[in-house]
Structure 1
Amino acid sequence: MDDIRVLEDSAAVEVALDPMRSAILDALSEPGSASTIATAIGSTRQKVNYHLKALETHGLVEPVETRTWGGITERFVQRSARYLVVSPSVLQNISLDPDQVADRLSAAFLIAVNARAVSEVGAITTGAPPDTRVPTLTLDTVIGFASPSDRAAFAVDLQSAIAALVAEYHHDEGRPHRLTVSSYPQPKESS
């Protein structure tokens, strides 16, 4: 089971969003059969089996084992990924281009850059052979600024540090990697 799968096919998204199929996916925190899932969600084995076939056709669940007892064969399936993320390309035919957003300090630009990352990394991982590690680097931290002027000074220092690192390590003949750095106010946790 993958940690995250980016859905790039609108039909797969439609299948995943069906309320019954969504309930089946939620019930599959552990591998299950049509019978065990039916019990968990309060449905019949036949209905669950029908929906499992649709989920399997779109790669949202995968078979893990078959058990035979008393002349009955029971198939066990699991989710293909713990989390599903919808690629922005599913919702629109054109690629989201951050360069079309004029204000580089806006929330719209941040969303456009991160949507592009979801689309691009999703496409790379979908096209990669199974168990291939895609060379990525992610930094995620929280920083508290005492004032807006501290935040602005940090931004200047960060840009300078990144520019120096890029100048030191960039090679025109090297494989290009996209580097993005973003910052936004951390949402308050709900109580």
Structure 2
Amino acid sequence: MIFKAIDKLIFLAHAGGMTNVAVISDPAAAEASLDPIRARLLTELVEPASAADLARRLDVPRQKINYHLKALENHGLIELVAERPKGNFTERIMRTTADEYLIAPQVMGAMTPDPDRSPDRLSARWLLAIATRLIREVGDLITGAARTDKRVATFTIDGRVRFASAAERAAFATELTEAVTGLVAKYHTDAAPAGRDHRVIVALHAVPPTTEPDSAPHTKE
């Protein structure tokens, strides 16, 4: 077994006022970002550019570009970073407010997968519901951290293992459950008023056939 990322610290970083990741939780903003032209504009505006610059790159009339830029700006997905005189008008230089965007699952409202509606813990539906909740909760943490200019520290283990049989996979799951349960019992305490609850998620799923193979050969540890 080889671990590709055994200790990955995920945090909200700042560079010139722009965050690495922004979570879109407003349905209208999500809809705006999914428009094909606006999605392309978001890609282009990771680096500052004007409407004229974008019109040349995309071969789209500047008036149409301005229309889409206004919509993105109204939803907080892009921002003004500079203005410069250009003939008889002032050219606005825009940039995305984040390097990357993630649409929060709750945008789908009641249709969002919910662990409480998926009680079978061995089902793919349960795993999907847990992953959805993970994205929602970490997204909320990132959004809150952005308001207070703080980092969000998390711990992630991302590994890959090949089982010889379904029986070995089941045995692995049993041993992993026992190990995690033991660790939780060892460190969990209700007698710490200043403590903070943390969610522990361990997931196991088959790698889809379309996934690119690792560049490095697998080795046993």
Report the TM-score, using the length of structure 2 for normalisation: 0.77
Contact 1:59 1:80 in 2 (8 A): yes
Counterpart in 2 of 1:113?
130
CA distance in structure 2 between the aligned counterparts of 1:59 and 1:180, rounded to whole angstroms: 32
Counterpart in 2 of 1:145?
163
Pick one of 126, 147, 154 that aligns with 1:136. Answer: 154
Please report how far the alpha carbon of residue 178 of structure 1 lies from its aligned counterpart in structure 2 after TM superposition.
0.8
CA distance in structure 2 between the aligned counterparts of 1:16 and 1:160, rounded to whole angstroms: 44
Counterpart in 1 of 2:41?
24
Pick one of 155, 176, 180 that aligns with 1:162. Answer: 180
Amino acid at match of 1:118: I
Amino acid at match of 1:108: R
Counterpart in 1 of 2:204?
183
Counterpart in 2 of 1:60?
77
Aligned length: 191
Contact 1:27 1:41 in 2 (8 A): no
Please report how far the alpha carbon of residue 30 of structure 1 lies from its aligned counterpart in structure 2 after TM superposition.
2.0
CA distance in structure 2 between the aligned counterparts of 1:77 and 1:182, rounded to whole angstroms: 40
Q: Percent identity?
A: 45
RMSD: 2.2
SS in 1 for 2:73: helix
Contact 1:6 1:118 in 2 (8 A): no
1:141-161 deviation per Cα after TM superposition (whole angstroms, max 9, x unaligned): 222222222211211121121
Please report how far the alpha carbon of residue 130 of structure 1 lies from its aligned counterpart in structure 2 after TM superposition.
5.0
Counterpart in 2 of 1:80?
97
How do residues 84-95 of structure 1 correspond to structure 2 at under 5 angstroms?
A: 84-93=101-110
Runs of 5+ unmatched residues, structure 2: 1-17, 213-221
Amino acid at match of 2:124: A
Change in 2 beyond 3 A, CA 1:15/1:134: same
Runs of 5+ unmatched residues, structure 1: none
Change in 2 beyond 3 A, CA 1:130/1:188: farther
